Structure 1
Amino acid sequence: MTTSSTPAYPSRCRRCDSRVTLMFTRSNNRIGNAGRPYYKCLTCTKFLCFADSRGLDPSNPLCSCGIPSRRQISGPARCVPRGLHYVCSQGGCSFYSPMHGDYGQISLDEEIASLFIQLSFI
């Protein structure tokens, strides 16, 4: 697994052009993001992107901004098993692409998802 260094992050919201704020997920977050830093626009309440290197890999597909995307997993409330996908790593565009294998979107059960989260793969 290869990870790239933490990229430069947005200072303005792509939706309303307001300044964005660095925030942290709650420490009791149960989907693998406890204490994780992220950027959010407080004006329009838009989540932009996570502010760490988790899921970053220079071989990930390029997003519409022309930069490598971030590999992520859907939350358990939305989909069980949890599907892997790519999103814009800097919150600069609305890029979203499911991660496909031979039989459709790649999904993980909770045990494997927890391991991949600990390894910063997703």
Structure 2
Amino acid sequence: RPPLRLATQAAPCSVRSMAVDALDAAGIAWTEVFVGGGVATIGAAVSAGLAVAALGHRVAPSGTVDVGARYGLPPLPTRDVVLYSNQTDAAARQALRTLGATLRASVGVR
């Protein structure tokens, strides 16, 4: 079987590391055919049919499908989402708290 064609972000992206480590551990040959600068560019590569990518369901482009089972790919662990900011004023901090609460509610986390 030919190597799995991957679209990734450049190292040291932790999602890239997680995906290629899982493929290596499963003995699945892979080749990096597209290195993007963010989720949108990686999603565009997937939508164009250039490669597959490790993307969360919520950020996968419309019209794409999870091909893990079809290709016999290993499951990937879940990831935490962490918000970082250097904002110290009260309004910005409140906006960040609201954003955090919205993200937690959207995935059913308290």
Question: Under a length normalisation based on structure 2, what TM-score does the superposition of the two structures give?
Answer: 0.24
Q: Which structure shows the higher strand fraction?
A: 1
Q: Which structure shows the higher helix fraction?
A: 2
**Higher Cα Rg, which structure:** 2
Higher relative contact order (CA 8 A, sep 6+): 2
